[in-house]
Structure 1
Amino acid sequence: MELRHLRYFVAVAEEGSLTVAAERRLHTAQPSLSRQLRDLELEVGAQLFIRGPRGVELTAAGRAFLEHARLALREAGEAVAAARRAVRPPKPSFSVGFLTGQEVIWLPHVTNVLRSQLKDIDFRVSSDFSPDIGEAVQRGEIDLGFCRLEPQPDVSYKVIAHEPILVILPADHPLAARSAIDVREIDPASFIGYTDTPHVLRGIVDRYLRDRGVPMRPTQLLDGIATGISLVASTGGVTLLPAYVEPLLPRSVVSRPLSGNAPVIEIAAGYRADNPSPILRFFLENLDQIVAARANALGRDA
């Protein structure tokens, strides 16, 4: 049994037609394809197809054979890829982690700075909660993290933006009619608070509320922006989140600025100074370019 027999079998099984498989997938003559399939059935010792005027159908033996055939082809492909990788020099890797949602904002700017190097490196992107990003930088699992100022030993940060914190509320909420919202107008029982995960955001909001003498009594807690948005949409509650969530809001949820001196939260690029990666060094040398590009994009959107 040869790999071509398996390729022929899978193509016919997926197309349900000898003619279509021969002409569109395999680029071979139908009589030759039929002969190859008969040879395969003889070697397997079972009929794999039922041939009819409208095409072919798999027998019970054919259905059992199909998944194993697909697996064999995948494994053969992986074997070829592994062999080819073995004879090529490995590409240097560069991994970037984003606080979930921030990749929408910053990844285009990152790839623009690295565009001349992307073809020569193994570029990896991930997203996670901010504390997890900080820990991944600390452990050396990623080279660069876009996150809050997480207190991690050996991790250095460069602040790249300050985001205002906004009120996030249902579109049909009475306060949504306001152009800006005084935090004291929010019903304390409707406020959606925070778990320990977004601890930087929680600390900023707690200080802001405490300074204004506003005691919130949350019955729901969010651990990330997706949870927060879902809770607002499903419970009719209100919360405070950084401005970067605005493009992610569904139509049923809106944002409004806080009146007066609203709090802000920082986003930073975190890295280990002892990381010897030349790609990281190049990136940090061009970090001001990314900050400027983001500022220009905000200016155009305003």
Structure 2
Amino acid sequence: MELRHLRYFVAVAEEGSLTLAAEKRLHTAQPSLSRQIHDLEHELGVALLIRGPRGIELTAAGRVFLDHARVALLQVEAAAEAARRAAHPARNSFSIGFLTGYELDWLPAVMEILREELASTEVVIHSQDSPELATDLVRGRIDIAFLRPEKQAPGLKFQLLRKDPLMVLMPRNHALASRATIRPRDLAGETFIGVSAVRAPTLRTLIEDYARQNGLPLKAEHQAENIAMAVSLVASTGGVCLLPAYAQNLLPKTVVGRPLQGAAPSIDLVIGYRDANTSPVLKYLVSKVDELKSRVTKGGKEGGKA
């Protein structure tokens, strides 16, 4: 088994199509890709994919193999990145990643805590989706990140920062906007904006679980790839979307957020970092997590009084 077999299989599984994987991801001919997948299945002795009229579906064996293949590829990339860093003098820099939107709350507090520690250090800020942040942490491209507790992230440690309740986003002129809270059943029949299973898997699972527990047939008529797209779709379609409460920081005047009535589901925000990272700046910041949370909580309360 070669690394290319793993890359080809992951591409086909994520695209759900041999044609799309060949053209968009791998830039190879479809017959060649089909042969590579067939060779992989022959070597493993199990079927990984079911080829049907609706595209590619994973077998039970394929779903298990996909998780391990992703981890294996990440570990290979991390090893290559570590070798490159060892071959070149390290730059005096510290990289911080944020799940897009959270930097508004957390970056000022981080910079206050690190003011003296970073006197001669270049700070690099990244704003990405949570799975991308986890991947870059594993690869050693980011020192610390504010993200979701991603599962497929070998070698990472997570510390909980807070739990963000979900809220309902809707146009300001929507019929539900006049209500102080939104009942689960109020969402039935509304145009629903879903989130990407690839770019926001933790949030997608939380929303699906909430809908199932409340007997809501929330079938997404549109799917948002990121928070900006979600807000845009809400404004343009007149639909509703479930997002963490921090999204209120990013709303235009035409879109409003309302809390869910009762016990709203919440999603974890954590800091993540590589256990093998020996950066003294990282060690210092991790030791100040309680102070960091206190600063952000205090800042939020003061902001609410203004």
State if a TM-score over 0.5 links the two structures: yes
**Cα-to-partner distance string for 1:177-214 (whole Å, 9 max, x where unaligned):** 00000121114450111221111001111111101111
Quick one: which amino acid aligns to residue 117 of structure 1?
E
**Cα-to-partner distance string for 1:247-277 (whole Å, 9 max, x where unaligned):** 2101110000000110111110000111010
Partner of 1:245: 247
Partner of 1:24: none
Instruction: Work out which of the two has the higher radius of gyration on C-alpha atoms and give 1 or 2.
Output: 1
Partner of 2:178: 177
Which consecutive unaligned segments of at least 5 residues does structure 1 have?
1-88
Give the secondary structure class of the aligned counterpart of 1:209.
helix
2:191 equivalent to 1:190: yes
**Displaced runs of 4 or more, over 3 A:** none
Give the secondary structure class of the aligned counterpart of 1:118.
coil
Within 2, Cα distance between the matches of 1:239 and 1:132?
A: 23
Give the secondary structure class of the aligned counterpart of 1:241.
strand
Quick one: which amino acid aligns to residue 103 of structure 1?
E
Deviation at 1:91, TM superposition (A): 5.6
Within 2, Cα distance between the matches of 1:295 and 1:247?
A: 15
Deviation at 1:161, TM superposition (A): 1.1
Within 2, Cα distance between the matches of 1:284 and 1:200?
A: 24
Within 1, Cα distance between the matches of 2:214 and 2:146?
A: 31
Give the secondary structure class of the aligned counterpart of 2:284.
helix
Within 2, Cα distance between the matches of 1:278 and 1:117?
A: 9
**Cα-to-partner distance string for 1:55-107 (whole Å, 9 max, x where unaligned):** xxxxxxxxxxxxxxxxxxxxxxxxxxxxxxxxxx9762110011011111110
Contact 1:163 1:243 in 2 (8 A): yes
2:295 equivalent to 1:289: no
Alignment size in residue pairs: 214
Deviation at 1:119, TM superposition (A): 2.4
Partner of 1:131: 131
Quick one: which amino acid aligns to residue 202 of structure 1?
R
Partner of 1:162: 163
Within 2, Cα distance between the matches of 1:283 and 1:241?
A: 28
Give the secondary structure class of the aligned counterpart of 2:119.
helix
Normalising by structure 1, report the TM-score: 0.69
Quick one: which amino acid aligns to residue 146 of structure 1?
F
Give 1:72-87 correspondences, 5 Å limit.
none
Contact 1:189 1:219 in 2 (8 A): no
Give 1:34-183 correspondences, 5 Å limit.
92-151=92-151, 152-183=153-184
Deviation at 1:299, TM superposition (A): 2.3
Partner of 1:271: 273
Quick one: which amino acid aligns to residue 157 of structure 2?
S
Q: Percent identity?
A: 38
Query: Which is worse superposed, 292-301 or 252-261?
Result: 292-301
Deviation at 1:294, TM superposition (A): 1.0
Calculate the aligned-residue CA RMSD, in Å. Answer: 1.4
Contact 1:158 1:268 in 2 (8 A): yes
Within 1, Cα distance between the matches of 2:180 and 2:136?
A: 40
Give 1:18-33 correspondences, 5 Å limit.
none
Within 1, Cα distance between the matches of 2:90 and 2:213?
A: 55
Deviation at 1:291, TM superposition (A): 0.6
Contact 2:188 2:216 in 1 (8 A): no
Within 2, Cα distance between the matches of 1:95 and 1:137?
A: 10
Deviation at 1:278, TM superposition (A): 0.6
Which consecutive unaligned segments of at least 5 residues does structure 2 have?
1-88
Contact 1:96 1:143 in 2 (8 A): yes
Within 1, Cα distance between the matches of 2:142 and 2:219?
A: 38
Classify 1:160/1:150 alpha carbon distance in 2 versus 1 (closer, same or farther; 3 Å).
Answer: same
Partner of 1:47: none
Within 2, Cα distance between the matches of 1:208 and 1:90?
A: 46
